[in-house]
Amino acid sequence: MRLENVTALVTGAGSGIGEAVCARFRREGARLLLTGRRERLDTAGPEDLYIPGNLNDETFVADLARQAAESLGTVDVVVLNHGLQASSPLTEMSYDDAKNVLDSNLLSAFLVMKHFAPLMPAAGGSFVCV
**107 domain residue, yes or no:** yes
- Secondary structure of residue 16 in the 3-state scheme: helix
Question: Residue 15: its pLDDT value, please?
Answer: 85
Query: Which domain CATH number covers 100?
Result: 3.40.50.720
**120 domain residue, yes or no:** yes
* C-beta separation of 130 from 81 below 8 A: yes
**1 domain residue, yes or no:** no
Question: Residue 98: its pLDDT value, please?
Answer: 93
The amino acid at residue 88 is: S
**38 domain residue, yes or no:** yes
**65 domain residue, yes or no:** yes
Question: Residue 38: its pLDDT value, please?
Answer: 84
Residue 104 lies in domain: 7-129
DSSP string covering 31-86:
EEEEE-SSS--TT--TT-EE----TT-HHHHHHHHHHHHHHHS---EEEE------
Q: Which residues of the chain have pLDDT under 70?
A: 1
Question: Residue 47: its pLDDT value, please?
Answer: 87
Closest CA to 15 of 38, 46, 32: 38
**64 domain residue, yes or no:** yes
**2 domain residue, yes or no:** no
- Secondary structure of residue 130 in the 3-state scheme: coil
* Count of domains forming the chain: 1
Question: Residue 32: its pLDDT value, please?
Answer: 96
